[in-house]
């Protein structure tokens, strides 16, 4: 199992921790890699020279940089009804793809589109049909660059009221004729709708480009963000079934812990090195069963 940690657990949503500190932490913890985030760990303005320097530093320490993530899609939508906003999201994703190619990442996490950003009431609600059509148009326009650079666009299942079930994901991904597009499966996020192994059984190794590891409890009858706690081992994810399904389909890519413990609201308490160290240990415990 390729074990990695997302920057937000270690550095929060700021740029206070450098990529070099993050890499050093991963080395000390015995991880295989890190998932840096564009917009905080890496500034959007970063240039190729700095990316190459970070890549060399990681390589010298044996730390992989296989995936990148970003939180920028909460503020701009690849499926937006507003054409100017959609264009901004496309241009950001082009830079994001280039950053990935400069640091040697195989895959970027992309939010395919949002019908509603449930935690931000200031964002517009967009009809599902509009998001489907405009996201398709945006992604088809981005795929030639992804193919040229050799970087995967992995669409994550997030709570944006778009692509709610495993079958919707398959129908959507089948629209694109490219090996460079697939899913970034978050095994905790999907539990609001269906268990992760249902997605794996339908999408398989062809489409699952990366996996985010977190847990979630559906104690609230509606399912809320507070279900995302601060332990990988405490929650409703059936890791035995998830790992069995991934093995069955031949998945051999990344497993990255992305913990945003909303159970700690209103304070959140991120970044948190103690949390980082705890979830790394929990990931090792899960690894023993993979």
Secondary structure of the chain: what % helix, strand, coil (to 5)? 45, 15, 40
pLDDT in tens, 246-268: 999 999 999 999 998 887 877 77
Share of the chain above pLDDT 90, in %: 87
pLDDT in tens, 97-126: 999 999 999 999 999 999 999 888 999 999
Q: Can you give the CATH number for the domain in which 10 is found?
A: 3.20.20.150
* DSSP codes, 181-198: EEEEEETTGGGGTS-HHH
Looking at residue 269, what is its pLDDT? 75
Q: What mean pLDDT value characterizes the chain?
A: 95
Task: Please state whether beta strands 64-70 and 2-6 pair in parallel, antiparallel, or not at all (unpaired).
Answer: unpaired
Looking at residue 76, what is its pLDDT? 97
Looking at residue 265, what is its pLDDT? 74
For residue 196, pLDDT over 90 is answered with yes
pLDDT in tens, 167-182: 999 999 999 999 999 9
Looking at residue 263, what is its pLDDT? 78
Residue 192, CA distances (Å) to 16, 249, 277 in order: 33, 23, 27
Looking at residue 2, what is its pLDDT? 97
pLDDT in tens, 24-83: 999 999 999 999 999 999 999 999 999 999 999 999 999 999 999 999 999 999 999 999
Closest CA to 158 of 123, 204, 205, 193: 193
Using alpha carbons only, how large is the chain's radius of gyration in Å? 18
CB under 8 Å to 141, separation ≥6 — which residues? Answer: 90
For residue 13, pLDDT over 80 is answered with yes
Structural domain that includes position 90: 2-287
Note if the bond before 266 is cis, omega within 30 degrees: yes
Closest CA to 64 of 22, 111, 123, 93: 22
- Can you point out the beta strands (E) in 1-63? 2-6, 33-38
Looking at residue 261, what is its pLDDT? 84
Give the integer Cα–Cα distance in Å for 87 and 77.
Answer: 9
Closest CA to 254 of 175, 180, 146, 152: 152
pLDDT in tens, 129-163: 999 999 999 999 999 999 999 999 999 999 999 99
2: β partners = 254
Give the integer Cα–Cα distance in Å for 89 and 266.
Answer: 29
Decide: residue 133, CB within 10 A, 0-12 exposed, 13-18 middle, 19+ buried. middle
Looking at residue 257, what is its pLDDT? 97
Looking at residue 86, what is its pLDDT? 98
Question: DSSP 3-state assignment of 6?
Answer: strand
> In total, how many domains does the chain have?
1
Looking at residue 165, what is its pLDDT? 96
Share of the chain above pLDDT 70, in %: 99
């Amino acid at each position: 199992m390729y074990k990695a940690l997302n920057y937000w657990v270690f550095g929060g949503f700021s740029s206070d921790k450098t990529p070099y500190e993050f890499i050093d932490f991963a080395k000390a913890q015995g991880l295989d890699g890190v998932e840096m985030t564009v917009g905080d760990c890496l500034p959007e303005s970063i240039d190729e020279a700095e990316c190459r320097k970070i890549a060399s530093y990681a390589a010298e320490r044996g730390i992989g940089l296989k995936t990148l993530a970003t939180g920028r899609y909460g503020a701009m939508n690849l499926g937006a009804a507003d054409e100017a906003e959609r264009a901004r999201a496309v241009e950001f994703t082009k830079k994001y793809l280039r950053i990935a190619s400069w640091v040697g990442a195989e895959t970027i996490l992309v939010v395919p589109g949002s019908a509603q950003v449930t935690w931000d009431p200031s964002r517009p609600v967009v009809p599902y049909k509009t998001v489907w059509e405009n996201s398709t148009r945006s992604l088809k326009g981005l795929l030639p660059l992804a193919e040229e650079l050799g970087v995967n666009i992995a669409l994550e299942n997030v709570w944006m009221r778009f692509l709610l079930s495993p079958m919707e994901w398959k129908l959507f991904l089948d629209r694109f004729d490219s090996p460079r597009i697939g899913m970034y499966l978050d095994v905790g996020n999907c539990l609001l709708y269906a268990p992760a192994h249902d997605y794996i059984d339908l999408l398989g190794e062809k489409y699952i480009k990366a996996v985010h590891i977190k847990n979630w409890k559906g104690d609230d009858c509606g399912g809320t963000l507070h279900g995302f706690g601060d332990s990988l081992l405490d929650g409703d994810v059936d890791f035995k079934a998830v790992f069995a399904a991934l093995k069955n389909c031949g998945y051999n890519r990344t497993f990255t812990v992305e913990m945003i413990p909303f159970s700690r609201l209103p304070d959140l308490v991120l970044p948190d090195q103690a949390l980082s160290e705890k979830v790394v240990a929990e990931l090792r415990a899960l690894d023993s069963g993979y």
